[in-house]
Amino acid sequence: MLKVIKKYKLIILPLGVVLILDLSLLVMNFLISAQLEVASEHINTAGRQRMLSQKIMKDLVLIDFKLRRQEPYLEHKLELQESVHLFDQTLKAFLKGGEATSASGLTIYIDKQSGKTVKSILERTSSLWDPICYNLNRIINNDVYPDEIDDLIISSSEANLRLLALVNDLTNQLEIKAKQKTYLLRAVQTIVVIMILVAFTLSTLRLIRRERYYSKLTENSADILLGIDVFDGNVRFISASVEVLLQNNAQFYLGKPAVHLFSFRTENSLLAHLSYARKNRRLEQERCDVELIAKDGTIIQAEMIMTLSESLNGKSLELMADIRDISERKRSELALYDLAHKDILTGLPNRASFQIMAGNIIALAKQSKSNIALLFIDLDGFKLINDAYGHQAGDELLNQVARKIEGNLRTTDSVSRIGGDEFVILLDKATNRRDISVIANKIIESLSKEMPIGTNLCKISASIGIAIYPEHGNNIIELTRKADAAMYKVKASGKNGIAYA
């Protein structure tokens, strides 16, 4: 997970910011709703003070009326007591902070009010209410007389008007404060929304730039970028560069088995890679050489670098491959190999290649307990032709000699030029001397015929020394030395013949 975050941090970070801001917006909406609800409750509770003030005056008048008619007034006295209690409790809660009964009858907590204007209104209301509250409680808690009630009604009427005005001012100020807080939260909310839009825009732009960047990479790259579904083996993605190399456009391969891109030999290798990835959820190897097949059937040598990409939920597994044309490199490698292992003039294996080949053949002969014959050939009369007609004629003669020798060998045999006019033949599974001699004499007969070199007819012969494994030696050095010695016997006895070690 951390690798994914590091890899795509330029995209994930803006998206993370968007997510955080979205959560902030949700919190902001909740705070605004809560603030509006609290403010509404406070405003309604403050507004109820007007009703309580008027109800107190009404209860006083009713008590006075009942007293004068000598009727029971306890019910109105209890209502007066409740109204006085609610008014006093609410006023103290606004002034000092504390619990109060809301207009809906619920117990709420009112924070101590701040702000000079609100505090001034509350203090003036309190100073006006305290003496009225004292007199009202005296009437509530003691027996009362009509004259006493009359005096209180007269003194409270004027105070009640001022109380109503102050309560109206308090309600208005609470509404103003609620609006200010709401406006502030709305402003913050707007800023958060703008930040979300900016972060989302940045993230989108980065995605677009990233997409364009990788599109240009795939379009301008000579490599084929390939995505293969590990489970069904079908092509899920392929870059447009495939058309340049294989002459089919990308659409031709999409959704089809990936083996359509490769030769038969590579097809089996690819299927093995996919099978291993399915079973082990990893690659057996990350690099291999493959053969691509073009529309016209041309085989193209390529190198495939592979990685395995797994989805976060683990349900999707894709083999991502970068396929690069290495035909030129292969040709260069082959040319270097030829320089190191082949005779430039005749195209035959050189001395180094002969040593390797002979060692392998002897090792196989040891396992199968079979015989090998080594024929050491030295041309007779080559130096005279080379001196008489020049090196170019000598080179042409050596080429013709190489072809004539090859024409007299079996498919299991091989010939190498180890230097100058010396050739070495390895006869695999040489069962007896008669068969070996037949091949050697055919070569002598073929080389003894005149060969056209430019405008001249040239005639040479060959001296051949023969050594047999394991009769004459157990390694190539010993066999070569003995065959060379046998060849010199032929030279000494008149040339143009064969001799065994």
Could you report the per-residue pLDDT of 465-475, keeping only the tens digit for each?
A: 999 999 999 99
Residue 313's pLDDT is what?
Answer: 54
- From-to residues of CATH 1.20.120.1730 in the chain: 2-199
What average pLDDT does this structure show over 84-94? 87
Q: How many helices (H) and strands (E) does the chain have?
A: 14, 14
Assign 331 to helix, strand or coil: helix
Fill in the amino acid letter for 148: E
Residue percentage of the chain with pLDDT more than 90:
31
pLDDT over 90 at 450, yes or no? yes
Q: According to the model, what pLDDT value does residue 176 have?
A: 81
Strand partners, 303: 289, 324
d(CA 100, CA 82) in angstroms, rounded, equals: 13
pLDDT of residue 444: 95
**Assigned token pair, 486:** 């046998």
Residue 18 has a pLDDT of 66
Grade residue 426 by pLDDT with cuts at 50, 70 and 90: very high
Least confident of 30-34, 100-104, 233-237, 368-372: 30-34
Domain with CATH 3.30.450.20 in the chain: 224-326
Residue 98, pLDDT score: 85
Confidence of residue 51 (pLDDT cuts 50, 70, 90): confident
């809660």: which residue's tokens?
Answer: 93
**Which pair of structure tokens corresponds to residue 7?**
């890899």
79 vs 65, 158, 282, 458, CA distance in Å? 15, 22, 85, 148
pLDDT at position 377:
96
- Where residue 399 falls among pLDDT bands split at 50, 70, 90? very high
Q: What is the pLDDT of residue 5?
A: 55
Q: Which amino acid is at 323?
A: I
Least Cα distance to 347 among 405, 266, 300, 307 occurs for 405
| Residues 84, 23: Cα–Cα separation, whole Å | 46
pLDDT at 214: 54
CATH says 2-199 is which class? mainly alpha
Q: What is the tens place of the pLDDT at every residue in 366-388?
A: 998 999 999 999 999 999 999 88
User: Do β-strands 422-428 and 451-453 pair in parallel, antiparallel, or remain unpaired?
Assistant: unpaired
pLDDT tens column, 284-329:
888 889 999 998 989 999 999 998 887 655 567 888 899 999 888 8
pLDDT at 213 over 70: no
- When comparing pLDDT for 3 and 412, which is higher? 412
User: What confidence score (pLDDT) does residue 11 get?
Assistant: 59
Lowest mean pLDDT among 33-47, 75-89, 240-254: 33-47
- Structure confidence at residue 2 (pLDDT): 60
224-326 homologous superfamily: PAS domain (3.30.450.20)
* Contact in structure between 443 and 424 (CB atoms under 8 Å): no
Most confident of 61-65, 114-118, 417-421: 417-421
Q: Is the pLDDT of residue 3 over 60?
A: no
- Residue 91: the pLDDT is 84
**Mean pLDDT, to the nearest integer, of 345-374?**
92
In this prediction, residues 450-477 reach a mean pLDDT of 93
Work out the mean pLDDT of the chain and round it to a whole number: 84
Residue 425 pairs in a beta bridge with 375, 415
* pLDDT the model gives residue 491: 93
Q: Are 110 and 98 in contact (CB under 8 A)?
A: yes
Say yes or no to pLDDT of 156 above 80.
no
String of DSSP letters for 208-258? HHHHHHHHHHHHH-SSEEEEEETTT-BEEEE-TTHHHHHSS-HHHHTTSBG
Residue range(s) occupied by CATH 3.30.70.270 in the chain: 342-500
Asked if the model's pLDDT at residue 6 lies above 70, the reply is: no
Start-to-end Cα distance in the chain: 75
| Alpha-carbon span 378 to 484, nearest angstrom | 9
Sheet with strand 461-469: strands edge to edge: 414-419, 422-428, 372-380, 461-469, 497-500
**Cα→Cα distances 130→101, 160, 161, 354, Å:** 20, 12, 15, 124
What DSSP letter does each residue of 270-318 carry, written as one string?
HHHHHHHHHHHSS-S-SEEEEEEE-TTS-EEEEEEEEEEEE-TTSS-EE
CATH architecture of 342-500: 2-Layer Sandwich (3.30)
- Weakest mean pLDDT among 114-123, 189-198, 212-221, 447-456: 212-221
Whether the CB-CB separation of 173 and 118 falls below 8 Å is answered with yes
